[in-house]
Amino acid sequence: MRILVVGAGATGGYFGGRLAEAGRDVTFLVRRTRAQTLRQHGLQIISPCGNVVLRPTLVEAGDLAGHYDVILLTVKAFSLAAAMEDIAPAVGPETAIVPLLNGMRHLARLRERFGAEAVMGGVCKIAATLDAQGRIVHFTPPHQLFYGELDDSRSARLARIDAALRNAGFDACAVPSITTALWEKWILLSSLGGITCLMRGTIGQVAAAPGGEAFARALIEEVASVAEAGGYRRRDEVIAETTALLTQQGSPMTSSLYRDLIAGNAVEADQIIGDLKARADLPVPLISAVWTHLSVYQQNRG
């Protein structure tokens, strides 16, 4: 099975690298500067689950040849439009696109561009980043990849993809309802991003501040209410786990949204917070405050 991984950052580089390490037929679609780094130093993964240096197969936009069986799309949400144009030559009638983007807006855009049948759902859970040398630094052992058909069916292609992605050095699983997994990741990301960005601190720092835990709990409930109104069938145990995680005293946890904001980088505010607010048909004062805060940041950034 030919697998194209779009992007070799923390997410694509990690999961694609593990697949390549396991002997899968993997090609990375990367920008020229990233290609130069990878050709010079290799794809380097530093992880509690094992370090590795690989010399992966690389291709740049415009040089794609032939169709791929699976495309793992791992770019930032604000790079989706360019990525769709880049991958178009690789998409054939049997290609399955598995996006690992934040939020859910990307699903409609991909289906509109490539057809509903081409697009599956994907969710990853990993704490990783690129360091100054371009190495993928994986912080903690969880490294999970979930995928499924958007109608939650058990198709033959899902079984083939599941077989290709399993047993490759990370936890991979075709889940019964990928839409549920997508909603629950969005609840986690938007709550985590909202707490850390609006309060400008780690989860532990917010929890220790006067009113911090109450704020976090209220935001999580507000986010969950929007998800339920959008069709999510609430699982109380998941919301309880999310709440416990995001109100933990002493936790050093932050969000990628917060880390990008502090670094002065572009942020996925529209996809993680803005889209959630737009879906809300009920009062969402805390989500609105987070959205206003991030909107001011984006205006100032230019």
Active site residues: 185
The enclosing H or E element of 51 equals none
CA–CA distance, 223 with 228 (Å, rounded to integer): 9
Euclidean distance between the first and the last CA atom of the chain, given in angstroms as a whole number: 43
Q: H helices then E strands: how many in the chain?
A: 13, 10
Cβ–Cβ under 8 Å, residues 176 and 148? yes
Q: Using DSSP, state whether 237 is helix, strand or coil.
A: helix
The residue written with tokens 């002997």 in the block is 23
Backbone angles phi, psi at 203, to 5 degrees: -60, -45
Beta strands in 160-285 (DSSP E): 171-174
Cβ–Cβ under 8 Å, residues 139 and 47? no
Both structure tokens of 173 = 């699983």
Cβ–Cβ under 8 Å, residues 213 and 244? no
